[in-house]
């Protein structure tokens, strides 16, 4: 059975191009031009994924996202433009799974769709994770070098461990600064992006083959971070 995707965007050309491109890739595509119509269609077709433009007339995309989340856990990918970082963060905090900045290439969209869906079926990762040459053991809180986990170990501090565990549980997903701070430091936090920066850099030094060019712990400028799982995981 083909996967069903609902596209909510007010621009007819974008609906048309996305629909024909996604149908050609074997997806079943429904479309809606407004947020209100989108919510209605959502109830009717029960899609497995929603692609949602943030700049909708009338009911805005962030509100649509919030309403969808009240009744469903269906993954949502939001579409936004540059210089609207605030909207992206609000949408992600309202429950969106990922975002794409317009204009984007189809390959990028397909990769995000695959990543979101894989996450959905796979859930979080196990307790022992292989990252290239590294083996992360969440039970022992260690990172071992070498394939067999027999190499030199490095220890994680409690906060680093909390942070890494949250990244792994939400692997592939864009996590906003606020979401990360509140998950690891507590509900009083949200603005202290500097703490995060320091800890993410410490984790990168322990995890990344080249901390200056991170492969797993990626920065989403002005929005947050994303843990990109290795392709074979």
| Site residues for another protein per CB under 8 A | 82-83, 85-86, 103, 105, 157-160, 191-195, 197-199, 219, 221-222
- The distance of closest approach from Cβ of residue 129 to another protein in the complex, given in angstroms and rounded to an integer, is 22
Torsion of CA 77, 104, 109, 119, to 10 degrees: -50
- Min dist CB 209 to another protein, Å, is 17
Quickly list H helices, the chain. Answer: 12-24, 35-45, 61-71, 85-93, 106-122, 158-169, 177-184, 193-207
Provide, rounded to whole angstroms, the least separation between the CB of residue 36 and another protein: 28
Contact partners, residue 12, CB within 8 Å, separation at least 6: 33
Q: Which is nearer to another protein, 48 or 53 (CB)?
A: 53
Nearest distance, CB of residue 13 and another protein, angstroms: 13
3-state secondary structure of 79: strand
Specify the pairing of strand 49-53 against strand 224-227. Answer: unpaired
* Integer-rounded Cα radius of gyration of the chain: 19
The CB-of-85 to another protein minimum distance in angstroms stands at: 5
Which lies closer to another protein via its Cβ, residue 78 or residue 156?
A: 156
The smaller minimum CB distance to another protein, of residues 107 and 232, is found at 107
Nearer to another protein by Cβ, of 150 and 157: the residue is: 157
Distance CA 196, CA 202 (A): 10
2 vs 20 by CB, closer to another protein = 20
Cα 51 versus chain centre, distance:
13
* Residue 54, token pair as written in the block: 């943030």
Q: What is the C-alpha to C-alpha distance for residues 228 and 193, in angstroms, rounded to an integer?
A: 20
CB of 202 to another protein, least distance (A): 9
**Which of residues 130 and 159 has its CB atom nearest to another protein in the complex?**
159
**C-alpha count within 13 angstroms, C-beta hemisphere, residue 124:** 11
């Amino acid at each position: 059975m083909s996967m069903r995707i609902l596209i909510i965007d007010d621009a007819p050309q974008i609906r048309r191009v996305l629909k024909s491109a996604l149908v050609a890739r074997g997806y079943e595509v429904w479309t809606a031009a407004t947020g209100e119509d989108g919510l209605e269609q959502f109830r009717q077709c029960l899609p497995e994924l929603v692609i949602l433009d943030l700049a909708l007339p009338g009911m805005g995309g962030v509100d649509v996202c919030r309403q969808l989340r009240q009744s469903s856990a269906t993954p949502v990918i939001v579409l936004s433009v540059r210089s609207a970082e605030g909207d992206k963060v609000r949408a992600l905090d309202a429950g969106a799974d990922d975002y794409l900045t317009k204009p984007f290439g189809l390959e990028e969209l397909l990769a995000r769709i695959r990543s979101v869906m894989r996450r959905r079926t796979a859930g979080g990762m196990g307790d022992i994770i292989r990252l290239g040459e590294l083996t992360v053991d969440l039970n022992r809180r260690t990172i071992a070098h070498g394939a067999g986990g027999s190499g030199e170990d490095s220890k994680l501090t409690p906060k680093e461990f909390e942070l890494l565990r949250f990244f792994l549980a939400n692997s592939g997903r864009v996590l906003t600064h606020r979401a990360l701070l509140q998950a690891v430091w507590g509900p009083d936090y949200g603005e202290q992006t500097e703490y995060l920066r320091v800890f993410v850099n410490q984790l990168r030094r322990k995890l990344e083959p080249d901390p200056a060019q991170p492969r797993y712990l990626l920065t989403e400028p002005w929005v947050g971070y994303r843990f990109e799982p290795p392709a074979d995981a």
